[in-house]
Structure 1
Amino acid sequence: MSDTKQNEVLLQVSGLTVAYGGIQAVKGVNFEVRRGELVSLIGSNGAGKTSTMKAITGGLPCGGTISYMGKSIRGQGPWDLVRQGLAMVPEGRGIFTRMTIAENLLMGAYVHDDKDRIDADMERMYTLFPRLKERHQQLAGTLSGGEQQMLAMGRALMSRPQVLLLDEPSMGLSPIMVDKIFEVVNEVSSQGVTVLLVEQNASRALSIADRGYVMESGLISLSGPADQLLHDPAVRAAYLGEG
């Protein structure tokens, strides 16, 4: 890939604001995600991370500029964005509980109609998540939290996104399942999908990221190479229980 292509900014957020009634949850946030990057947005609960993600995907009214591939996407719904190559795995997963695993995955491919390639995508998801293959005819609502998270990620990947947004994928999961989720995020990134990862688990998020942004009280307080942030004394004290 050429340097120009590699450095192309796919997602750019400038001056983003989100308010709930009189409360300003996001206060003018700026960040960017370049092609091929895995970028982590970290911060404590209530920092404004999920509000930022919802604003990007049209789930909340907002101010500022949100650009994807150089064009404004502010106010567009998730279904519009999926067609353009931007897919989100929301906090809470949002799977279809009364559908089977296989049916949920196929719902992720609704923007495509090339059956052979969809079948190949299904097999790829089952390779990535062997547990889903074992249970493919099981109702999604009967899965464990970790299995539901795998399914939500698989469903998003079925749309063949250029950019994958992940909102708190490890929340509420067992340590062994957290390991699996981060392993898959790393694998997806290594296959060329651009990833924006929102996480409270700062050490795990930064350990697999290229760059990171730290969000506090609705603002970006720090940014830089992920490894640099991982060893920053302020970050370690605030998010890694050190100092």
Structure 2
Amino acid sequence: MSETILKIQGLRVAYGGIKAVKGIDLEVNKGELVTLIGANGAGKTTTLKAITGTLPPCSVEGVISYKGQSLKDAKSFELVQRKLAMVPEGRGVFTRMSIQENLMMGAYTRDDKAGIDADVEKWYTVFPRLKERSAAMAGTLSGGEQQMLAMARALMSHPDLLLLDEPSMGLSPIMVEKIFEVIRDVSKQGITILLVEQNAKLALQAAHRGYVMDSGAVIMSGNADDMLHDPRVKAAYLGE
């Protein structure tokens, strides 16, 4: 049996009378890349924010457990210490800090200086553009470069679970290709990933399993390759 890293049971999120998430179940096992796809407003980002405790005031019901322990009442800043990292929609880089400083912030829970230095060089090798501009303020980077930096910063914490929220949003096709190449490589290194993505085709091609959300509910789940070839998924999300 695979070890379950993340388990969501009966998650409901409501803002006043608006039900954003309507009792979903979802799980991610160790070493898996699982994707959550669906149209805008389906409840995907709300689900990730419920996991990380970063929702605005609202009603949250259900069970979210990470490595067998409930995340109820966990502070978002504690999650990095528990090896759970998230790359939020919009990247969330520290715009007035340099690329180098952003990467070091990703490692603030670590004290292995040699390992940190080695990881900085590793991500500079993966993203040469970041190395070229290591002293530049993160706010001066393009959207694609900020996405590279946000991913590298999250990976500096050596997460056991990486949450990615719309990593391809607003990027050029070439940059999207690069980001997904890195996502696949990170997955091959054994890091467990939950990927929220509007580009259903790329997400399912990269993932082991997938969930489809619509209007706050999970309407389909299964093997990612099977879903890629499912006529319903093709018609609704792949434009085929």
Which of 76, 83, 86 is residue 84 of structure 2 equivalent to?
Answer: 86
2:192 to 181, 191, 194: 194
2:219 is aligned to: 221
Three-state SS of the structure 2 residue aligned to 1:180 is helix
Contact 1:38 1:197 in 2 (8 A): yes
Residue in 2 that maps onto 1:40: 35
Which residue number corresponds to residue 45 of structure 2?
50
Return structure 1 stretches of 4+ with deviation > 2 angstroms: none
Distance in 2 between the 1:129 and 1:21 partners? 43
Give 1:241 shift. Answer: 1.0
SS in 2 for 1:133: helix
Q: Show CA shifts across 1:88-129 (max 9, x none).
A: 000011100000000000000010111111111111111121
1:72 aligned partner: 70
Within 2, Cα distance between the matches of 1:77 and 1:23?
25
- Give the Å deviation of 1:63: 1.0
Note the alpha carbon deviations across 1:171-205, whole angstroms, 9 max, x for none: 00000000000000001000110000000100000
Q: Which SS does the other structure have where 1:96 is aligned?
A: coil
- For residues 42 and 146 of structure 2, the distance between their equivalents in structure 1, rounded to whole angstroms, comes to 25
* Distance in 1 between residues matched to 2:50 and 2:116, nearest whole Å: 30
Q: How does 1:1-243 map to 2 (within 5 A)?
A: 4=1, 7-60=2-55, 61=58, 62-242=60-240
The residue identity in structure 2 corresponding to 1:174 is S
Aligned residue for 1:99, secondary structure, equals: coil
| C-alpha separation in 1, matches of 2:114 and 2:154 | 18
Aligned residues: 237
CA contact (8 A) 1:186 1:208 kept: yes
Q: CA RMSD in A?
A: 0.8
Give the gaps of 5 or more residues in structure 1: none
The residue type paired with residue 35 of structure 2 is S
How far does residue 15 in structure 1 lie from its aligned partner after superposition?
Answer: 0.5
1 CA distance for matches of 2:176 and 2:76? 26
- Structure 1 position 74, deviation (Å): 2.3
Deviations 1:48-93 (A, max 9, x none): 0000000000012521000001010123232111101110000011
Counterpart AA for 1:33: V
Amino-acid identity (%): 67
Q: CA deviation at 1:133?
A: 0.7
